Structure 1
Amino acid sequence: MSSFAETYDHNGKPVTHHRYRVNGIRMHFITAGEGKEALLLLHGTPKNSFYWYKIMPYLTPYFTVVAPDLRGFGYTDKPPTTDGYDSGTNADDMADLMTQLGHDKFHLHGEDRGADYAYALAAKYRERVKTLSYCEMLLSGFGLEESSFWTKENISAQFRKQGVWCWHLGFFFIPHVPEMLIQGKEREFWEMFIKSECYNPTSIEPVALDHWIECVKQPGCLRGILETYRAGLKNGDIHHDLLKTGGKLTLPIMTVGAPEFFGPTVKENILQVAEKVQVDYIFEECGHSLALEKPERLAKCLREFMLGEAK
């Protein structure tokens, strides 16, 4: 691994970086791989496409991988507005991107905030998403908000490996205050935030943390990240509308939960909006950052689920 934040495929070749005009914004994303099947990867907070650097070599022999920086994150635009950071807009972003790349149909994997958007994408563009890997998230409007409540049940949930107290949701939602408190302390805050969610904190390597902090310090990036949380209640409305108009998802779905964060609640949660979960995993000795803590195992699960590889 180089000392700078670059991602490599299974041949040790750097991924290809792009900037496309997508749904009214300028988006940065990476592509790599030799497989016939397209796989779209959607990251969480406060990460970007570099989040996938450990898992990428395990995927590129089998898939053509597309990994964007979501709007508000990394090197993608951070529109100076409170609108446009919701899951419906992000779903439109991804549909436009994959259309421009020539991928009419594709597999989809999302973690954390990326899983929220992955559901919206799969529900809004049902004819395009072949399989959905929904990991380490509770869906907005269907339980995520309740996970933030200051209750004895929530606070003790993580100790019982039955979920986690998402204290940060309300904090990030407040206008202006998080910016005031985090700016100037980006390294201290985000290192604590990311590592506290891990089973093995050393899985968050300095090269990744340095890169994400560098990105967060860009003009508008911290605000852009926080706007994705301020859109949370709107996301819930969007998800309820998608369920009402389209019904439950019927495509093949895989869920993964980690005992150090959402754990078994992931599968329970998505079943509110899906007919069935075909495959459910609990990654023991793992936390919220699946692709960094268990990259080889996660890649194997994705291959088995999406491509039908023998177990």
Structure 2
Amino acid sequence: MPETYDHNKKPVTHGMARVQNIRMHYITAGSGPALLLLHGTPKTHYYWYRIIPYLTPHFTIIAPDERGFGATDKPPASDGYDGATNAKDLIELMDHLGHEKFAVHSEDRGATYGFCLAGLHPDRVTHLSFCEMVLSDRLTEQSYFTRENIAAQFNQTGVWNWHIPFFWMPHVPEMLIQGREEEFWTHFMKAECYNPNAIEQEAIDEWVRCSRAPGGLRGILETYRAHWENVDVEAKIIEHGKLSCPVMTVGAPEFFGPIVKGQMERVSDNIVISEVFENCGHSLALEQPERLANLLRKFVLS
């Protein structure tokens, strides 16, 4: 496992927490207000290695491997991979670390969990940064095999999420991906970038290693097989009313782009920062870490 370092080139601290009968691996670093970082697919805490040195002078960073990923346990699907279960995992992690209140920065699949955290536990989340993601019902629509969805990724009005039903299928993605993890995940991640070299080979090698580990691929896929549960969980949050905390959105034109803001406008009347990073793709924290860190400081600390 490659190491992550703070702004003083000091290695981060690793730990294991017991949350909802699983062991969750996490890293901590820095000092200041607590900022929880939630990664996407097929990543781990190591996704944040470029942005953490920009954040640790200002925040206490907590970055877990989410349920099913990295060194965190990968329980049977019956134990739940939906947004509500993941939100409870993260609440118990922050309880374990003694953080009553905290800000959240979330990207991709992690933003599903970030939204559920803010919606289901409003007394705990002070700020929500919801980036490069849409709500689950929109994700359903963008997975359809239509001319409009396919064209959207070429005219920068959205993206065709072809992988949602593919990853949801029982057994088939395992059959096709196992033994070809390096080829599949390398293509999957680099195709989402504006600059494919922004994702270094060391990072790809780490995520490929994790997906090949016992339960690694299944753990990743179960987060997609919980899609319809996520639709229902998010619908209940929306029925309850708007989010109470300030919200920040960031999109990238090579992926979700400007539609991220519109998704949060459905659920929040308090969007205080919204940007689309030009010359950027789906991996914001790798492609434009300094710009993203500056926005987070402005959002949480101003």
TM-score normalised over the length of structure 2 = 0.99
| Match of residue 15 from structure 2 | 18
Deviation (angstroms), 1:54 = 0.2
3-state SS of paired residue (1:78): coil
Aligned residue among 68, 91, 95 for 1:95: 91
Tell me what 2:170 maps to. 175
In structure 2, C-alpha distance between the alignment counterparts of 1:83 and 1:163, rounded to whole Å: 33
Within a 5 Å distance, the mapping from 1:40-55 to structure 2 comes to 40-55=36-51
Matched, 1:302 2:299: no
State the AA in 2 paired with 1:184. Answer: G
Who is 2:35 aligned against? 39
Counterparts of 1:167-206 in structure 2 under 5 Å?
167-206=162-201
Q: Does 1:254 align with 2:251?
A: no
Aligned to 2:89, what secondary structure does the other structure show? helix
Separation in 2 of the partners of 1:243 and 1:23?
25
**Counterpart of 1:157?**
152
Match of 1:7 in 2: 4
Q: What whole-Å deviation, never above 9, does each CA across 1:106-132 have from its counterpart, x for those lacking one?
A: 000100000000000000110110000
SS across alignment from 2:26: strand
What is the SS of the residue equivalent to 1:61? Answer: coil
Instruction: State the distance in 2 between where 1:240 and 1:275 align.
Output: 17
Per-residue deviation, 1:250: 2.5
Alpha-carbon deviation of 1:63? 0.1
Deviation at 1:292, TM superposition (A): 0.3
Deviations 1:148-206 (A, max 9, x none): 11111111111111111000001000000000000000000000000000000000101
Deviations 1:189-226 (A, max 9, x none): 00000000000000010110011111111111100100
Q: CA RMSD in A?
A: 0.8
Tell me if 1:223 matches 2:222: no
Q: Secondary structure at the match of 2:136?
A: coil
Whole-angstrom CA distance in 2 between matches of 1:165 and 1:304: 32
Match among 63, 69, 92 for residue 65 of structure 2: 69
Report the 3-state secondary structure (helix = DSSP H, G, I; strand = E; otherwise coil) of the residue aligned with 2:110. Answer: helix
Report % sequence identity.
61
Point out where structure 1 has 5 or more consecutive residues left out of the alignment.
Answer: none
Alignment of 1:76-115 (within 5 A): 76-115=72-111
Distance apart, 1:274 and its partner CA: 1.6
Give secondary structure in 1 for the equivalent of 2:14: strand
- For residue 287 of structure 1, the aligned residue among 272, 276, 281 is 281
| CA distance in structure 2 between the partners assigned to 1:40 and 1:212 by the alignment | 20
Please tell me whether the aligned partners of residues 91 and 120 of structure 1 are also in contact (alpha carbons under 8 angstroms).
yes
- Give the aligned partner of residue 208 of structure 1: 203
Distance 1:83 1:263 in 2: 33
Residues 1:27 and 2:24 aligned together: yes
Residue ranges of structure 2 left out of the alignment (5+ in a row): none
Q: For this pair of structures, how many residues does the alignment match?
A: 302
Give the ranges of 4+ consecutive aligned residues of structure 1 lying more than 3 Å apart after TM superposition: none
On the 8 A contact 1:82/1:227 being kept in 2, the answer is no
The answer on 1:237 being equivalent to 2:232 is yes
Letter in 2 for 1:287: G
Could you tell me which amino acid in structure 1 is paired with residue 168 of structure 2? Answer: F
Deviations along 1:26-59, whole A, 9 cap, x unmatched? 0000000022x00000000000000000000000
Q: CA deviation at 1:273?
A: 1.6
Deviation at 1:276, TM superposition (A): 3.1
**Partner in structure 2 of residue 122 of structure 1:** 118
Scaled by the length of structure 1, the TM-score of the pair is 0.96
What letter is aligned with 1:275? D
SS of equivalent to 1:144: helix
- Aligned to 1:240, the other structure's residue is in SS state helix
